[in-house]
Structure 1
Amino acid sequence: MNHTAAPRRQQGAIGERRTGIGQILEKHLWGYLFLLPALLIFAMFLWLPIIKGFFYSFYHVDFVKGNTFVGFDNYKTVLHDSDVGISIRNTLYYMGLALVIGFWVPIVFAIAISEVRRFQGILRIAAYLPNVIPVVVLYGLWRWFYDPVGPINAAITKTAGGEGIAFMTDTSWSMISLVFMETWQQFGAAMLLYLAAILSIPRDWYEAAEIDGAGVWMRIRHITLPSVKSLIVLMLLLQLIGTSQGFQSQLAMLDGGPNNATLTYALLIVKYATTRLDLGVASAMGVLMFIVLSVLAIIQFRLQHRGDN
């Protein structure tokens, strides 16, 4: 028996494997090189700040005198700050309002446009146009809309009589007003995603349903909604993550007011970092948000995976 045959076969297999890897690298080398700058930028501006955020959450950050290790003191400050509790309640309220008021709007518009036989292109453009308005123009426009003598209050007083609504100064209306504004601006992008998914459904299904006598609601209920179910779940998760990080409109329109009614958790992080100049506590708050959102994403992934099975 030749005892050297097996090692030679193993060496040949290893050589073939190395040759295969080399061929793959040679074939896709330019693709990897073109991808490398994007990966470096992604790592520099996303993952590096995340890692530094974990690091800074255990330090009192001082760029002049140097950082001082404080252990879990920053996390203790977060847990004992009354503004944190207010911001968490406001954030949950904001997320709930966004679901009730805004989440279903792009779905309804996408279904309605898909059922229209004519002028679909014009309707798509009209629905998406608010999404391209610069935020500076958007906030100025809606400040005028919500003004006590603005067009909305003028329409209310003419039709219903009495006084108008203090959209920006009433604590019960301020967050609702922001959600309406953001829904009007942002629903167009989500609507296009839903519309693309709906238009990808085989038309034969709808034709067969029409032959069987199914009306519009029956087609939507038994064909459209089940076909885009996975997209709805994904968009729900993305909206929860996005609204949990909301702070831009709250900062620009009301700066967290009136009376902290629009002070969200992300806005409080910004205030700790820029106004209170305590980057350690801001980093600790960011780490806690990162953990919560990661758990939420894992739960959603497992529920969706279980539903697919």
Structure 2
Amino acid sequence: MKTAQAPQRPAPPVPPPGRSAPAGRGAPGALRRALAHQLRAYAFLIGGLICFALFSWYPAVRAVIIAFQKYTPGAPPQWVGTANFTQVFHDPEFGAAWRNTLTFTVIALLAGFAVPFLMALVLNELRHAKSFFRVVVYLPVMIPPVVSALLWKWFYDPGAGLANETLRFLHLPTSNWTNGADTALLSLVVVATWANMGGTVLIYLAALQGIPGELYEAAELDGASLWQRVRHVTVPQTRFIILMLMLLQIVATMQVFTEPFVITGGGPESSTVTVLYLIYKYAFLYNDFGGACALSVLLLIVLSVFSALYLRLTRTDD
């Protein structure tokens, strides 16, 4: 008995010599989809580059050019060479601005580096209400900087301010705070530290939670104290984060402006005039955009040299 055989399909035609077989039907569609995907990616990239070029790179290049010009809005600019830099160097407030800025940076770095790290250590050891305390610590960052400065300006008021009222209630001597030349800059450091440490605390906390618990367990088994665990486990494991945040804090504090502008107005006796505040005065009070740009270029050079030296001294083989 013969079994039925399935009908055989005809073999595909063999292309003539010198010609390749036609591509599958899905190849053009896949190619179009891949091309559209790449075009969308480059479109988003080009949009970001345009934003950076218009709002970051172009103003920076333009500021360098204006630093060598006598620039007045509505009038054609005139090239004056290094005259703007000479004028800025001979300004009586130039030395005071740099001295105040460096003093503010050093004090703010000591407070802004130690306090957030200690707070992160405390939050990392909490067992209850962690989310609540994280929100409390980060809350000052969510307040607009000008609003925060205005609150502290009322807090520091030598008459009816909360600071002096608290001191009177405790029968302690009051202070002039931001109205005294010897206490104004330190008072601004407190404001800046309080307003900006929330983000730093959370970054430190994330770094601490990434440390393997086995390291602490081994240290405890070896009889290490709390200070020894922090010194030999916590600090080495978070070294990269500490170094990067330190650099970012130095760059940020060297550009302090909001607190002197809103709270003290550069006073008293120019004790809180910073470099950025002096740039503002040149541009919008003296109408001297050439001098303002010259100061900006000097600040850029100082920060760039410091950042390069800092990265070179703190880099590691890995």
CA contact (8 A) 1:57 1:74 kept: yes
Mark the CA change 1:136 to 1:81 in structure 2 (over 3 Å): closer, same or farther. closer
> Is the aligned partner of 1:31 residue 2:41?
yes
Question: 1:78 Cα deviation (Å)?
Answer: 1.2
3-state SS of the aligned residue for 1:168? helix
Partner Cα separation in structure 1 for residue 60 and residue 228 of structure 2: 47
The residue type equivalent to 2:166 in the other structure is A
Over residues 219-275 of structure 1, what are the superposed CA-to-partner deviations in whole Å (9 max), with x where a residue is unaligned? Answer: 211111111111111111111111111111101111101111100011001110000
Over residues 46-101 of structure 1, what are the superposed CA-to-partner deviations in whole Å (9 max), with x where a residue is unaligned? Answer: 11111001110111002222111111101111111111111011111111110222
* TM-score of the two chains, using structure 2 as the length reference: 0.85
Question: 1:176 Cα deviation (Å)?
Answer: 0.8
Question: 1:106 Cα deviation (Å)?
Answer: 0.8
Partner Cα separation in structure 2 for residue 118 and residue 64 of structure 1: 62
- Aligned pairs, number: 285
> Is the aligned partner of 1:226 residue 2:236?
yes
> Is the aligned partner of 1:287 residue 2:297?
yes
Q: Which residue of 1 aligns with 2:124?
A: 114
CA contact (8 A) 2:146 2:258 kept: no
3-state SS of the aligned residue for 2:177? coil
Partner Cα separation in structure 2 for residue 292 and residue 24 of structure 1: 46
CA contact (8 A) 1:102 1:180 kept: no
> Is the aligned partner of 1:194 residue 2:204?
yes
Q: Which residue of 2 aligns with 1:150?
A: 161
Return 60-69 or 193-202, whichever deviates more: 60-69
CA contact (8 A) 2:145 2:195 kept: no
> Is the aligned partner of 1:180 residue 2:190?
yes
Return 183-192 or 296-305, whichever deviates more: 296-305
Partner Cα separation in structure 2 for residue 196 and residue 254 of structure 1: 36
Q: Which residue of 1 aligns with 2:100?
A: 90
Over residues 81-125 of structure 1, what are the superposed CA-to-partner deviations in whole Å (9 max), with x where a residue is unaligned? Answer: 111111011111111110222221111111111122222211111
Mark the CA change 1:24 to 1:292 in structure 2 (over 3 Å): closer, same or farther. farther
Partner Cα separation in structure 2 for residue 261 and residue 290 of structure 1: 23
Partner Cα separation in structure 1 for residue 81 and residue 313 of structure 2: 36
Q: Whose helix fraction is larger, Structure 1's or Structure 2's?
A: 1
Over residues 165-194 of structure 1, what are the superposed CA-to-partner deviations in whole Å (9 max), with x where a residue is unaligned? Answer: 011210111111111011111111100111
Q: Which residue of 2 aligns with 1:15?
A: none
Partner Cα separation in structure 2 for residue 28 and residue 281 of structure 1: 46
Over residues 143-165 of structure 1, what are the superposed CA-to-partner deviations in whole Å (9 max), with x where a residue is unaligned? Answer: 2211222222122223243x410
Return 90-99 or 25-34, whichever deviates more: 25-34
> Is the aligned partner of 1:101 residue 2:111?
yes
Q: RMSD between aligned alpha carbons?
A: 1.8
Partner Cα separation in structure 2 for residue 295 and residue 183 of structure 1: 25
* TM-score of the two chains, using structure 1 as the length reference: 0.87
* Structure 1 segments unaligned to the other structure (5+ residues): 1-22
Aligned with residue 170 of structure 2, among 145, 159, 172:
159
* Structure 2 segments unaligned to the other structure (5+ residues): 1-32
Q: Work out which of the two has the higher radius of gyration on C-alpha atoms and give 1 or 2.
A: 2
